[in-house]
Amino acid sequence: MTMGNVIKKYRKIKGLTQEEMAVRLGVTAPAVNKWEKGSTLPDVALLAPLARLLGITTDELLSFKDELTDEEIDRFLSELQKDLESKDLHEVFLAVKRMIEEYPNCERLIWQAAVMLDAKRMTAELPGKDSYDSAIFGWYERCLCSEDERMRDQAADSLFHAFVRQENYEKAAQYLDYFSLENPERKRKEALVNSKTGKRAEAYRAYEELIFTGYQHIQMTLNDLRILYMEDGDREMTRRLVEVSSSAASAFEMGRYNEVCWGLDVAVWEKDAPWTARLMREILDSLETIGEFTKSKLYQHMTLKTVDPDFSTGLKRELLKSLEDETFAYMQGNEDWEKLKSEN
């Protein structure tokens, strides 16, 4: 930030007009105006009084700052958004370029300003908007060298989508290496590239794998959250999460068994005899559907192992044996429970 910009910025923060500042410093209003425009600089003898008047240090006045604060970045980006809505794009671009040249290591400023300029030229019908590619992509590339993994991911994501928009899929694919192999975003982006480059089967399979693993992650998270609510004695939320788990299993076509199995531990926790009996019957009756998801068209391009019938048989045996466990002591004498035991 130039000295003129510093003076203007802090004068406004202090709520002073150029005339009021001029009076307090013993100079003319046109002199202050020239300082702020960068036409001239204040006399050396005025630096200390000027800094005191603005409530800043002389280092700040002279722009001896290594980096911008988060507040300053936010303020600049807010002004940038307003300028993009009201000013010529090239004029705004040059202002951003000057700011980045002044703070070449301010990665957050660089990436966010690049994103905002990129978005503006995408949404507006502007002549020559592709002429900004070199600068904007260069700013993204600079952020790829960041020590911050999140910043690298954001920059790689911006470049990936920029080249996808240009239908340069080979170039877009080069940025996939910036994402870890465990990051599902990498697989989703690979699937997108494959879908655009004739590798349809690979794209289908990758998307289906994302759905399948996404479901597993959702259920593990719901289960952990349900346990947390159980520990805190919140029955309403515990039951609500059982309903959500069941709905998720239905939505992802995981089969009837996976729709009904989630509430048993909650029913035991609550010692709700009618619910326990009903759930156990539904679980036992649906054991044959435990691997039904392998037949779902949602996963038709995946190679899924079918569930061995012996597994279902063994699980049923263990469940029937558990009917006499101490865990279900509260169920003894329940008519439906006793009927379930006699039938099996």
Mean pLDDT by groups of 10 residues along the chain of 344 residues = 84 92 93 90 90 88 71 93 91 91 89 93 70 91 92 95 94 94 93 96 97 97 97 96 97 96 95 95 93 95 90 90 90 90 80
User: CA-to-CA distance for 131 and 93, rounded, in angstroms?
Assistant: 11
d(CA 321, CA 14): 79
Rounded distance, CA 136 to CA 179, Å?
A: 21
Residues 194 and 206 in one domain: no
Tokens for 158, please give them. Answer: 């911006």
- Give the long-range contacts of residues 211-219, CB within 8 A, separation 24 or more: 211/252, 211/298, 211/299, 212/252, 212/299, 212/302, 213/184, 214/184, 215/248, 215/252, 215/254, 218/248, 219/245, 219/248, 219/249
Q: What are phi and psi of 83, to 5 degrees?
A: -65, -35
Spatial distance between the Cα atoms of 292 and 307, rounded to a whole number of angstroms: 9
Q: Are the C-beta atoms of 80 and 68 separated by less than 8 Å?
A: no
Q: Are residues 119 and 57 in the same domain?
A: no
Residue at which a domain ends, from 44, 61, 78:
61
* 240 lies in the same domain as 315: yes
Q: Pick the closest to residue 100 from 138, 145, 71 (CA basis).
A: 138
Residues 35 and 84 in one domain: no
90-97: Cβ within 8 A, 24+ apart: 92/117, 92/120, 93/117, 93/132, 93/135, 97/135
Same domain, 270 and 175: no
- Residue 341 is predicted with a pLDDT of 85
Residues 104 and 19 in one domain: no
What is this structure's pTM?
0.72
The whole domain housing 245 covers 202-343
End position of a domain, from candidates 168, 199, 230 = 199
Q: Are residues 76 and 47 in the same domain?
A: no
Work out how many domains the chain is built from and give that number.
3
